[in-house]
């Protein structure tokens, strides 16, 4: 996409100024480096957003118009498709289902694994390392291997096809990442704080909830995001567990729309937009935590 | 890029446990292990790419923590006996209990079940499993007339994806990161925009791609406008057996570039600027600086990006399931999808054991790749 073919002539040419190397293409096209940088970056922004532009475009078209052609700007933009999808096609219900599954999973991950991470980081007890390793092993097993056993197990437990049957495996699936990041965050809390609190008579629960959790807030938000976004989009397990349309989450509702008799792309794209918009809002409002979490994680 | 630790140091690294005051953790080992990039931990981590990065990072933190601990700790040969405070231990178990119970049910049980199933023949309904030993594995590889050819064809497609996706992702994200790094204004907002394909990855985006790849979709329209009408696909890009797989590869690269770009960007920003100044004084131009200095310096990042995408390409199949379901005519069938089909889409045939076996073979393949890579990195040192 970014054309960086070597320019042999420019290779050994000395840079025009000793401290700021100018890109070789500057001399080729007689453009300022800034312009070229801007063009390339702008082009890739277009590439990144291209499918979304058409998603939005189709969602605001009528059925006739979406079948007629693929011009980006709808001639008569209409909200009817979106409203229709939201109400008549029950996407409001699916939205609530998705919200519940994602919310419960995220909350579960935060509660369960912040406790576990506190124990792994702060408390001393026999077998701690073994347990910690056990959780890390989960990182190494591919999801497709456990998909079938999870379905079989839930069938026997009688929770297959329920939201609980999705939430429990989702929570467990986030365990390695959540435990690693949160143990890491708790390790950064000075141990003196805990000692001081203990001298003041605070118990473990109090120290955990009043000192450690507030201090690890950025890590908690990062984990919440890294759990919520994949859960919101989850498709593979959901597809093989849910049968009852009233329990559908958004990705599965979207899939069932696609499998209807004729694919109406304006409806489909309106539904896709409903799936994507919350994630984009979430990402842009909390991206500091998202990107910093990723960057921090890599930088160490 | 500083921190990449071997997985065993990651596993050894919980702070403050009795059996963990390993004397090997001197600050030196922590520093030494940080150079070989992309080890098992990075190669095989759970789904979001970030998981991996996070894993390797915290692993290092743990290592450092233990390192600090061991500095004041006991001498080399003696294994210290930690006196566990009874109340503290109880709290410890109580805090871990919910995670552990869930893990026992959803993790240990299912992994064990899957492993056992790979040695059995079962259709999901009959009351008993028929134990067949390694026959599932041999059937998949060469034994069966029905499954072996399908698996081999899928393996070939998977191989293409495994080569093309990492290479193209690196080819796009490395220059992109360099150019983005040189942009002073709008860097933050552009980085966020570039991230949208990654955070939205899922069925909604794949359907949008399907829409624009239709026979009369936007991509064909765009090609006509650009005067590249000969490149248009009258059957749609996913309908033509020749273009379906390359098209899916491009969509996969499109979703993989954001994380790779971020990793490169982070790597670039952690480089010592004096290197560039020296290079410039020696007369190296922009191109030369990036190819001869920056690229080698960021080799560790490249290793991570490559392995991350290799693992996803080997095991991931969601995009294939949604956009083509292996079609047209099995031209986009990959091993992950084949596993899924054997497990869930083969009606009453006794293929569940086969599915499990194929899944474990994918796991072993990923493990092998990670180990080979680790070897090569060590040798290159």
Q: What's the domain range around B28?
A: 7-72
Closest residue of chain A to B276, computed from CA coordinates: A19
DSSP calls for B244-291: HHHHHHHHHHHHHHHHHHHHHHHHHHTS-HHHHHHHHHTT--HHHIII
Closest residue of chain A to B20, computed from CA coordinates: A129
- A239 to chain B nearest CA, in Å? 10
> Counting Cβ atoms within 10 Å, is residue A221 exposed (0-12), middle (13-18) or buried (19+)?
middle
pTM value? 0.80
> A28 and A113 share a domain?
no
Q: What's the domain range around A107?
A: 91-299
> B150 and B18 share a domain?
no
Segment A133-153 mean pLDDT = 80
Per-residue pLDDT for A81 more than 80?
yes
> A98 and A171 share a domain?
yes
Residue B303 in contact with residue B38, Cβ under 8 Å?
A: yes
Kindly report, residue by residue over B125-161, the tens digit of the pLDDT: 777 888 888 888 988 888 888 888 989 999 999 999 9
Residue to test with chain A: of B11, B15, B25, B99, most A Cβ within 10 A: B99
d(CA A292, CA A219): 10
- List Cα–Cα distances, B23 to B7, B36, B66, B237, in angstroms: 17, 21, 9, 59
B235 C-beta neighbours (distance < 10 Å), count: 14
Contact B262 A295 (CB under 8 A): yes
pLDDT of A197 reads 92
Q: Looking at residue B175, which CATH number applies to its domain?
A: 1.10.3720.10
- Provide, as residue numbers in chain A, all residues whose Cβ is less than 8 Å from the Cβ of B284: 15, 21
> B184 and B304 share a domain?
yes
- Does the beta carbon of A164 lie under 8 angstroms from any beta carbon of chain B? no
The backbone torsions φ and ψ at residue B45, rounded to the nearest 5 degrees and listed phi first, read -65, 170
Q: Kindly indicate the confidence band of residue B72, based on its pLDDT and cuts at 50, 70 and 90.
A: very low
- A292 to chain B nearest CA, in Å? 10
pLDDT of B108 reads 84
Contact B363 A24 (CB under 8 A): no
- Does the beta carbon of A146 lie under 8 angstroms from any beta carbon of chain B? yes
Q: Three-state SS for B131?
A: strand
Segment A130-158 mean pLDDT = 82
> A134 and A35 share a domain?
no
pLDDT of A32 reads 65
Report how many Cβ contacts below 8 Å link chain A to chain B: 389
> B254 and B166 share a domain?
yes
> A151 and A12 share a domain?
no
Question: Is residue B107 assigned to a domain?
Answer: no
- A63 to chain B nearest CA, in Å? 14
Question: Is residue A122 assigned to a domain?
Answer: yes
Calculate the CA dihedral of residues A254, A256, A259, A261 and round it to 10 degrees: -110
- B240 to chain A nearest CA, in Å? 19
> A132 and A196 share a domain?
yes
- List Cα–Cα distances, A61 to A268, B5, B220, in angstroms: 11, 52, 20
Lowest mean pLDDT among A196-210, B57-71, B308-322: B57-71
> A42 and A104 share a domain?
no
> B209 and B333 share a domain?
yes
Segment B39-46 mean pLDDT = 35
Helix axes B86-102, A128-137, angle to 10 degrees: 20
- List Cα–Cα distances, A154 to A104, A135, A148, B351, in angstroms: 18, 21, 10, 20
> B56 and B167 share a domain?
no
Segment B344-371 mean pLDDT = 84
> A164 and A122 share a domain?
yes
C-alpha Rg value of chain A to the nearest Å: 25
The backbone torsions φ and ψ at residue A161, rounded to the nearest 5 degrees and listed phi first, read 85, -5
Per-residue pLDDT for A276 more than 80?
yes
Residue B120 pairs in a beta bridge with: B131
d(CA B119, CA B129): 9
| The two structure tokens encoding residue A178 | 């959540």
Q: Kindly indicate the confidence band of residue B15, based on its pLDDT and cuts at 50, 70 and 90.
A: very low
Question: Is residue B344 assigned to a domain?
Answer: yes
Per-residue pLDDT for B73 more than 90?
no
Question: Is residue B97 assigned to a domain?
Answer: no
> B63 and B151 share a domain?
no
Question: Is residue A84 assigned to a domain?
Answer: no
d(CA A35, CA B179): 11
Question: Is residue B291 assigned to a domain?
Answer: yes
Which A residues 78-137 touch B at CB under 8 Å? 111-113, 115-116, 118-126, 128-129, 131-136
> A141 and A201 share a domain?
yes
Question: Is residue A2 assigned to a domain?
Answer: no
> B301 and B198 share a domain?
yes
Question: Is residue B89 assigned to a domain?
Answer: no
d(CA A41, CA A48): 10
Segment A118-145 mean pLDDT = 83
Of A78, A101, A119, the position where a domain reaches its end is A78
pLDDT of A298 reads 45
Q: For this complex, say whether ipTM is above 0.85.
A: no
- A229 to chain B nearest CA, in Å? 7
- Does the beta carbon of A143 lie under 8 angstroms from any beta carbon of chain B? yes
What end-to-end distance do the CA atoms of chain B give, in Å? 17
> B200 and B295 share a domain?
yes
pLDDT of B219 reads 87
> B61 and B184 share a domain?
no
Number of structural domains in chain B: 2
The angle at the Cα of A138, spanning A136 to A144, to the nearest 5 degrees, equals 155
Which A residues 30-69 touch B at CB under 8 Å? 33, 37-38, 40-41, 44-45, 47-52, 54-55, 58, 69
Residue B121 pairs in a beta bridge with: B130
Contact B57 A298 (CB under 8 A): yes
Q: Kindly indicate the confidence band of residue B374, based on its pLDDT and cuts at 50, 70 and 90.
A: confident
Segment B332-338 mean pLDDT = 91
Residue B265 in contact with residue B177, Cβ under 8 Å?
A: yes
> A173 and A121 share a domain?
yes
Residue A21 in contact with residue B284, Cβ under 8 Å?
A: yes
> A61 and A193 share a domain?
no
Question: Is residue B78 assigned to a domain?
Answer: no
- A246 to chain B nearest CA, in Å? 19
Nearest to B285 among A10, A139, A175 (CB): A10
> A157 and A55 share a domain?
no
Contact B186 A41 (CB under 8 A): yes
- Provide, as residue numbers in chain A, all residues whose Cβ is less than 8 Å from the Cβ of B91: 119, 123, 204
> A129 and A41 share a domain?
no
> B57 and B157 share a domain?
no
Residue to test with chain B: of A110, A124, A209, A265, most B Cβ within 10 A: A124
Nearest to A187 among B61, B203, B352 (CB): B61
Long-range contacts of the stretch A290-294 (C-beta < 8 A, 24+): A290/A222, A290/A225, A290/A226, A290/B195, A290/B199, A291/B191, A291/B192, A291/B195, A291/B262, A292/A218, A292/A222, A293/A181, A293/A218, A293/A219, A293/A222, A293/A225, A293/A226, A293/B50, A293/B54, A294/B50, A294/B53, A294/B54, A294/B259, A294/B262
The share of chain A scoring above pLDDT 70, in percent, equals 84
Contact B360 A287 (CB under 8 A): no
- Provide, as residue numbers in chain B, all residues whose Cβ is less than 8 Å from the Cβ of A198: none
> B199 and B309 share a domain?
yes
- B356 to chain A nearest CA, in Å? 6
Contact B194 A44 (CB under 8 A): yes
Which stretches of A159-249 are DSSP H helices? 164-173, 175-187, 191-199, 204-207, 213-215, 217-233, 236-241
Q: Kindly indicate the confidence band of residue B47, based on its pLDDT and cuts at 50, 70 and 90.
A: very low
Number of structural domains in chain A: 2
Lowest mean pLDDT among A66-70, B73-77, B310-314: B73-77
Rounded to the nearest integer, the mean pLDDT of chain A is 83
> B151 and B66 share a domain?
no
- Provide, as residue numbers in chain A, all residues whose Cβ is less than 8 Å from the Cβ of B98: 111-112, 115-116
- Provide, as residue numbers in chain A, all residues whose Cβ is less than 8 Å from the Cβ of B96: 115-116, 119-120, 131
Of B28, B53, B72, the position where a domain reaches its end is B72
The residues, any chain, with a CB within 8 Å of residue A146's CB and separated by 6 or more, are A169, B107, B110, B111, B114
Kindly report, residue by residue over A160-169, the tens digit of the pLDDT: 999 999 999 9
């Amino acid at each position: 996409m970014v054309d960086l073919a070597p320019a042999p002539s420019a290779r050994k040419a000395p840079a025009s100024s000793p401290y700021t190397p100018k890109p070789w293409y500057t001399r080729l096209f007689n453009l300022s480096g800034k312009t070229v940088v801007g063009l390339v970056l702008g082009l890739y922004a277009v590439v990144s957003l291209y499918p979304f532009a058409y998603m939005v475009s189709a969602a605001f078209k009528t059925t006739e118009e979406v079948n007629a052609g693929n011009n980006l700007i709808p001639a008569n933009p209409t909200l009817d498709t979106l409203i229709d999808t939201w109400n008549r096609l029950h996407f409001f219900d699916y939205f609530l289902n998705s919200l519940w599954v994602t919310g419960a999973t995220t909350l579960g991950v935060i509660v369960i694994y912040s406790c576990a991470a506190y124990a792994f980081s702060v408390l001393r007890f026999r077998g701690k390392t073994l347990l910690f390793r056990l959780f890390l092993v989960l990182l190494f097993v591919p999801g497709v291997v456990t998909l079938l056993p999870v379905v079989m197990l839930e069938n026997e437990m009688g929770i297959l096809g329920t939201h609980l049957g999705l939430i429990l495996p989702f929570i467990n699936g986030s365990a390695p990442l959540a435990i690693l990041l949160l143990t890491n965050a708790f390790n950064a809390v000075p141990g003196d704080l805990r000692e001081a609190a203990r001298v003041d008579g605070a118990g473990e629960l109090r120290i955990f909830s009043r000192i450690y959790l507030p201090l690890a807030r950025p890590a908690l938000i990062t984990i919440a995001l890294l759990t919520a976004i994949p859960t919101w989009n989850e498709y593979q397990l959901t597809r093989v567990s849910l049968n009852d349309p009233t329990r559908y989450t958004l990705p599965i509702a979207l899939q069932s729309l696609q499998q209807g008799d004729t694919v109406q792309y304006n409806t489909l794209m309106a539904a896709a937009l409903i799936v994507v918009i919350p994630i984009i809002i979430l990402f842009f409002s909390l991206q500091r935590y998202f990107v910093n979490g990723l960057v921090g994680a890599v930088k160490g | 890029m500083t921190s990449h630790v071997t997985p065993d140091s990651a596993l050894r690294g919980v702070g403050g446990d009795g059996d963990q005051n390993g004397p090997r953790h001197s600050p030196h080992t922590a520093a030494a292990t940080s150079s070989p990039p992309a080890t098992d931990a990075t190669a095989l981590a759970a789904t979001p790419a970030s998981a991996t990065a996070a894993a390797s990072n915290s692993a290092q933190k743990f290592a450092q923590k233990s390192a600090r601990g061991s500095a004041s700790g006991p001498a080399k040969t003696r294994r210290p006996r930690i006196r566990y405070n009874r109340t503290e231990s109880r709290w410890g178990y109580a805090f871990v209990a919910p995670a552990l119970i869930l893990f026992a049910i959803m993790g240990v049980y299912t992994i064990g079940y899957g492993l056992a199933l790979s040695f059995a023949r079962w259709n999901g309904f009959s009351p008993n499993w028929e134990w067949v030993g390694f026959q599932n594995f041999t059937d998949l590889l060469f034994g069966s007339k029905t499954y072996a050819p399908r698996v081999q064809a899928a393996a070939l497609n998977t191989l293409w994806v495994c080569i093309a996706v990492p290479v193209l992702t690196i080819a796009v994200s490395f220059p992109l990161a360099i150019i983005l790094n040189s942009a002073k204004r709008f860097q933050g907002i552009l980085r966020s925009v570039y991230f949208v394909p990654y955070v939205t990855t899922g069925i909604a985006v794949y359907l949008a791609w399907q829409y624009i790849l239709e026979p009369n979709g936007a991509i064909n329209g765009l090609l006509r406008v650009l005067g590249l009408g000969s490149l248009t696909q009258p059957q749609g890009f996913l309908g033509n057996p020749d273009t379906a797989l390359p098209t899916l590869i491009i969509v996969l690269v499109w979703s993989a570039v954001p994380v790779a770009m971020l990793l490169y960007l982070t790597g670039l920003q952690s480089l010592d600027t004096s290197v560039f100044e020296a290079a410039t004084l020696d007369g190296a131009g922009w191109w030369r600086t990036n190819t001869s200095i920056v690229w080698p310096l960021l080799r560790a990042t490249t290793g991570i990006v490559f392995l991350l995408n290799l693992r996803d390409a080997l095991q991931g199949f969601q995009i294939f399931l949604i956009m083509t379901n292996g079609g047209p005519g099995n031209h986009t069938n990959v091993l992950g999808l084949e596993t899924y089909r054997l497990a869930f889409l083969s009606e009453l045939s006794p293929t569940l054991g086969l599915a499990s076996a194929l899944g474990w073979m994918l796991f072993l393949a990923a493990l092998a790749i990670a180990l080979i890579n680790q070897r090569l990195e060590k040798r290159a040192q």
